[in-house]
């Protein structure tokens, strides 16, 4: 079942986006288009994509003109081919022109994240591995980009630093090693949703296993080394399962190799930091 989005929770964010773009006012539209003119706009897919953010797209125009009506033809998580129209908007011409860029930028960005995520999810289908995002998100857009990952079929990792313990290379160095970091992290029991540690070789892995973290992140390892690490974790798993996660250097071309190595999770920063915006256009015509 596709995820849902409470658009009302993003009113302030959308309004801030509009303030940024409108500045002191849309002087081009205000001087060339009558306030009484009404118009209709169609969103058109120019490339294959997974739709994400269509309700936010519509809400931008409702903010500018509460009398706006929107016909949503395709919903988030649906796949479109070139030429398909996910939504039509009827509003004042001024609202359509002034809101077009914000609405389209957001829809293109979120649909790009969902589209790339769907590609990764399909690449590991049947292996049992899940595709996760990271905190490599656009400041101010994290919740929406993580929503788009879910739309694409992925799973969210930590939403913020307060959710869980994730001990990375710099933490280990500053704490004085794997043992010291994991011993200190026990103080977070009850506060953190889970305790996870990053390891880069089998020696660090063995040290981590002695402390029984919830998750071990296998960072920048080859698929062959990941397979060895997973086998060691499985041999150690008793009575409680320690999950494994692979990250670093993972692309759409090699992600299946990592999945077939047996990891539970594969985290991919590119889902949010490198997803290209999809190609959509917004064509506006006057109402007769």
Taking residues 183-199, report their average pLDDT. Answer: 94
pLDDT, one tens digit per residue, over 5-16 is 999 999 999 999
What pLDDT shows up at residue 237? 80
pLDDT, one tens digit per residue, over 272-281 is 999 999 999 9
168 is catalytic: yes
Taking residues 245-263, report their average pLDDT. Answer: 97
**Set 19, 168, 191, 241: catalytic member:** 168
pLDDT, one tens digit per residue, over 105-114 is 999 999 999 9
CA–CA separation, 191 vs 168, rounded Å? 19
Asked whether residue 1 carries a pLDDT value surpassing 80, the answer given is: no
What pLDDT shows up at residue 2? 77
Confidence of residue 190 (pLDDT cuts 50, 70, 90): confident
CB atoms within 10 A of CB 24: 5
Taking residues 58-86, report their average pLDDT. Answer: 98
Q: Give start-end residues of each CATH 3.20.20.70 domain in the chain.
A: 124-273
What pLDDT shows up at residue 243? 96
45 forms beta bridges with: 280
Contact present, 74 and 278 (Cβ < 8 Å): no
Confidence of residue 57 (pLDDT cuts 50, 70, 90): very high
Higher pLDDT pick, 162 / 190: 162
**Assigned CATH class of 7-121+275-286:** alpha beta
219 is catalytic: yes
Task: Return the exposure string of 35-53: e unless at least 16 CB atoms fall within 10 Å of the residue's CB, then b.
Answer: eeebbbbbbbbeeebbbbb
Contact present, 126 and 285 (Cβ < 8 Å): no
109 is catalytic: no
Confidence of residue 240 (pLDDT cuts 50, 70, 90): confident
Q: pTM to 2 decimals?
A: 0.96
146 is catalytic: no
282 forms beta bridges with: 43
What pLDDT shows up at residue 114? 98
Q: Give start-end residues of each CATH 3.90.1170.20 domain in the chain.
A: 7-121+275-286
SS3 222: coil
Contact present, 89 and 70 (Cβ < 8 Å): yes
Please, what is the end-to-end C-alpha distance for the chain in angstroms?
40
- Report the phi/psi class of residue 248: left, alpha or beta, with left for phi > 0 and alpha for psi in -120 to 50: left
Confidence of residue 18 (pLDDT cuts 50, 70, 90): very high
**Set 88, 136, 159, 206: catalytic member:** 136
Asked whether residue 151 carries a pLDDT value surpassing 90, the answer given is: yes
136 is catalytic: yes
Tokens for 15, please give them: 């309004």
What pLDDT shows up at residue 20? 97
Asked whether residue 136 carries a pLDDT value surpassing 80, the answer given is: yes
The architecture in CATH of the region 124-273 reads: Alpha-Beta Barrel (3.20)
Taking residues 190-210, report their average pLDDT. Answer: 95
**Set 59, 76, 145, 198: catalytic member:** 198
Confidence of residue 77 (pLDDT cuts 50, 70, 90): very high
Sign for the pseudo-dihedral over CA of 215, 216, 219, 222: negative
């Amino acid at each position: 079942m596709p995820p849902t989005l409470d658009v009302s929770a993003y009113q302030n964010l959308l309004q801030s986006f509009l303030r940024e773009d409108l500045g002191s006012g849309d002087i081009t539209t205000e001087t060339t288009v009558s306030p009484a003119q009404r118009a209709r706009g169609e969103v058109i897919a120019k490339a294959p994509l997974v739709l994400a953010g269509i309700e936010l797209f519509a809400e931008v125009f409702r903010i500018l003109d509460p009398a706006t009506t929107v016909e949503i033809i395709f919903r988030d998580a649906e796949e479109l081919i070139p030429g398909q129209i996910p939504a039509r908007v009827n509003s004042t011409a001024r609202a359509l022109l002034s809101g077009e860029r914000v609405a389209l930028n957001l829809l293109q960005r979120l649909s790009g994240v969902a589209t790339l995520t769907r590609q990764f999810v399909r690449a590991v289908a049947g292996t049992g591995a899940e595709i996760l995002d990271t905190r490599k998100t656009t400041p101010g857009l994290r919740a929406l980009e993580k929503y788009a990952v879910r739309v694409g079929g992925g799973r969210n990792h930590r939403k913020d630093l307060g959710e869980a313990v994730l001990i990375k290379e710099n933490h280990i160095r500053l704490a004085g090693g794997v043992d010291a970091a994991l011993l200190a992290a026990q103080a977070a029991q009850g506060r953190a949703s889970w305790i996870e540690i990053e390891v880069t070789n089998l020696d660090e892995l063995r040290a981590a296993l002695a402390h029984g973290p919830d998750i071990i992140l296998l960072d920048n390892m080859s698929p062959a080394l990941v397979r060895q690490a997973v086998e060691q974790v499985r041999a150690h798993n008793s009575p409680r399962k320690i999950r494994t996660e692979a990250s670093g250097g993972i692309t759409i071309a090699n992600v299946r190799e990592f999945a077939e190595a047996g990891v539970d999770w594969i985290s991919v920063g590119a889902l949010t930091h490198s997803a290209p915006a999809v190609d959509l256009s917004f064509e506006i015509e006057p109402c007769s």
